[in-house]
Structure 1
């Protein structure tokens, strides 16, 4: 009888030990899973969309939150997409000065590079071949330094002050480069905004906050397609 009791005690002790080991294993597994999830959340940064341009991108005369890059960020956030928009617009930027600056801004990781330059070239009457060459050089630098980044080129048009041949050839630079480099194209950044006094500031060049909203709505489908 005593032998039987001893056996029962031993059996209960073994069961308790196994239970404790099993619980410890479950706890360890949960900690491993939860720890991995938290670590993954902490170490997975958002992808970056960089708008590289002039005063149109910078939102000259407006609060930065009213410029179209910030409005694109709002659209991204509303969809829960893991992208961060960087506004790398600089007022007065030409394609030449942009070419000198692009290597530096690309020190930051970029997944989508939106190139919006050329308007100041056209307004200043810079030789068209120089504008074309500078834009191509910028595209080449992006491809070399950030080979996995998608590129979208923003098309631009200028008033006919410089003559029909100049303005026509200027307009054709952008779709031509987009096709040559197999990159995305915004046909005309200022579509439905340019030339409308109600949508532009007193200088007749820079969009109002309402004009910036129209730009954001126009380019959003192209940006969404590029990031998906």
Structure 2
């Protein structure tokens, strides 16, 4: 009975939600990354720049928004039990070129380079795969790789070497992307024509990836 009583009085989490906009134009930032610094809580904005994170433990946090080509923005917030924190974030375009682009430009790789537990894929390989509706997408190509399976009817999840989807880490030019696959599982948020190369690491990756 004592355990039941304690559980009944457990603190309720709060919700953090809001919108991210371009400060100069007022346009929404689409598929931007929003997260609570120092935690595992994070999400991406939708087509309206809206984001929402629920069941956040009460406490003080730093809310951070990042997007390619923009300076990151951060604000301090307080999450209270059962309350909603509504926060608007405004981002400014960065005047500094991304160094990762310069590094990628100096790399000369084969279109498909196989290493230990690693694959490098080119957009041409994705486009060569028969596609649904004539539109090629990374989500349709991943299942042809060894050790990777996807589910299209349960949230567009990917499973690598028997691991769970939460153990995967998807990154775009060094930034973590949350929920990159649409619910139908056939398409991702990445447009094939904008991709330079794709590195798929299924094991043996370095400590910089944080165990994911």
TM-score by length of 1: 0.25
Rg bigger for which structure? Answer: 1
- Which protein is richer in helix relative to its size? 1
